[in-house]
Amino acid sequence: MENIEQEIDKIKERNKRVELDKAWETSFTRRLCICILTYIVVVCYSYMISRISNIWLSSLVPVIGFTLSTLSLKFIRALWEKRQ
């Protein structure tokens, strides 16, 4: 009986971790951090390869593209899930 209770506790702990992972994947904080880090990398890369006149504005293009792609993936995933 004790073995079954231990297994149930392990399953509950795993479920908590999975729920937390799901919450992180869809969180605004995660998306914002990815956008900021992407922006920093693009600014640094753009600065190193050329002297673009408005590097701060031109570096927003990849970040906006990435952000839009992450937002649209929810819709695509929902369609994919319906077909499964």
Quote the pLDDT of residue 72.
Answer: 67
For 28, the token pair is 């605004």
Global confidence as pTM: 0.57
**For the chain, how many structural domains are there in total?**
1
Q: Radius of gyration (Cα) for the chain, nearest Å?
A: 20
* 51: DSSP letter: -
Quote the pLDDT of residue 39.
Answer: 85
What are the pLDDT tens digits along the chain (84 aa)?
A: 678 889 999 999 999 989 988 888 888 888 888 888 888 888 887 777 776 677 778 788 888 888 877 776 677 777 777 877
Provide the angle, in degrees to the nearest 10, between the axes of the packed helices 28-49 and 60-83.
140
Over residues 33-55, the pLDDT tens digits come to: 888 888 888 888 777 777 667 77
